[in-house]
Amino acid sequence: MLLNIADVLDAAAIAAIHREIRSGGIVFSDGSATAGWQAKAVKKNEQASGAALDGIIQKASSAILAHPLLRAAANPKLLVKVMLSRYKPGMAYGTHVDNALMGGVRTDLSFTLFLKEPDSYEGGALVIEGNDGESEIKLPAGSLVLYPTTTLHHVSEVTSGERLAIVGWVRSYIRSHENRETLFDLENAIASLRLANVDRTVLDRLLKVKANLMRGWVED
């Protein structure tokens, strides 16, 4: 499942990040230092550090975990290794798969939260590679894409402007991608039935099904 989620961060939060970068509260260095051994050779970007970074990551992480669509799709237990990355002209991230474990924590889903408008830079699309072809993703500032960590993907070369994004990983309570998708479909069906004012007993039975599926699938 590949899911685009709009308005995770508002304009004020994004503007605050850009102010910190301009003021020197955030600095950037070679991003290959944070890559796994198989990705290090193809990673050409910059990762952020600095006094203001922890506050930015904490606020962004809270916004991500609070978003109802992400919660329904991911059943998140926690976020793992959330980072702020930058791509300048000539930078790219070649085809790779993300590590299964980061800091001893299993990674189930990956996300990119875009911090620049797509027309402010050329190139820099996130490309998800699948058996049925490639999906290019380049979303408005404040929007997030969520996708399985099991997929091959790359970031195309930035040819002008600057790509800025927060990236990270989700440890889900639900290990299986298929089970997560089943629960997401069920949650969407329940929400639709609520809007249709169906008989409460129907909703109760579906909520029972969801709860019992989670009881069997959750890994806490």
Task: Indicate the domain borders of the chain.
Answer: 3-172, 177-217
CB 44 within 8 A of CB 35: no
Global model pTM greater than 0.75: yes
Q: Give 50-96 pLDDT, tens digit per residue.
A: 889 999 999 999 999 999 999 999 999 999 999 999 999 999 999 99
Q: How far apart are CA 157 and CA 143, in angstroms?
A: 20
Query: For 80, left (φ over 0), alpha (ψ -120 to 50), or beta?
Result: beta
Tell me which residue of 56, 31, 55, 111 sits closest to 78, measured CA to CA.
Answer: 111
Q: How far apart are CA 184 and CA 73, in angstroms?
A: 5
Tell me the CATH number for domain 3-172. 2.60.120.620
Residue 106 half-sphere exposure toward CB, CA atoms < 13 A: 13
Tell me which residue of 172, 169, 114 sits closest to 144, measured CA to CA.
Answer: 114
Q: Give 13-38 pLDDT, tens digit per residue.
A: 999 999 999 988 899 998 887 766 67
